[in-house]
A = this chain, B = another copy of it.
Amino acid sequence: MDLDSKYSKNKYTSLDHFVEENGKIYAGHHYLIDMWNCLYLEDEIKIKDLLMRAAKSAGASVLQVKTHHFGEGQGVSGVAILAESHISIHTWPERSFAAFDIFMCGNTNPELSLDFLTKTFKPKKIDIKKLKRGIIS
């Protein structure tokens, strides 16, 4: 696998394409996003669609999307497995709460997924933590 291969939206992005930025080398970005009072907390079909679109908005390639609805009035879990890691969601309608994480490596832009998820799920309150994974010191 070519560590130096360039990314193109029309090409496969190698999974070992660590990010090089300002002299730092790391695997990718991991965002943990807590949304309160947002939409679609019980809507498995909508969640599946939005996970795929959130991934694509960042330039990521979706390999599989798996969802599980825990039953009437209960939450949904969903994971999009990407060529560049994953996006997940777990919802608690009883608490009006959804927990997302976006883990993206390669030449993708997780900010675009975050923007997409915020604009579509429309939380009244949001808490975002942004971390880097696999930092080579």
Which A positions have Cβ atoms within 8 angstroms of B?
1, 3, 14-16, 18, 27-28, 30, 32, 34, 63-64, 66, 68, 70, 73-75, 77, 79, 81-83, 85-86, 88, 90, 92-95, 97, 99, 101, 103, 105, 127, 129, 131, 133-136
Contacts and interface: CB of A to CB of B under 8 A. Distances in A.
A40 to B, nearest CB: 16
A16 B95 contact: yes
Given A32-B30, A66-B64, A88-B88, A134 B95 contact: yes
Q: Give 6 nearest A-B pairs by CB, closest first.
A: A16-B94, A16-B92, A15-B75, A79-B79, A99-B133, A85-B90
A85 B98 CA distance: 11
> Is chain A's binding surface mostly helix, strand, loop or mixed?
strand
Contacts of A134: 34, 92, 95, 97, 99
A32 B95 contact: no
A61 to B, nearest CB: 11
Contacts of A34: 27, 133-135
B94 A1 contact: yes
B90 A15 contact: yes
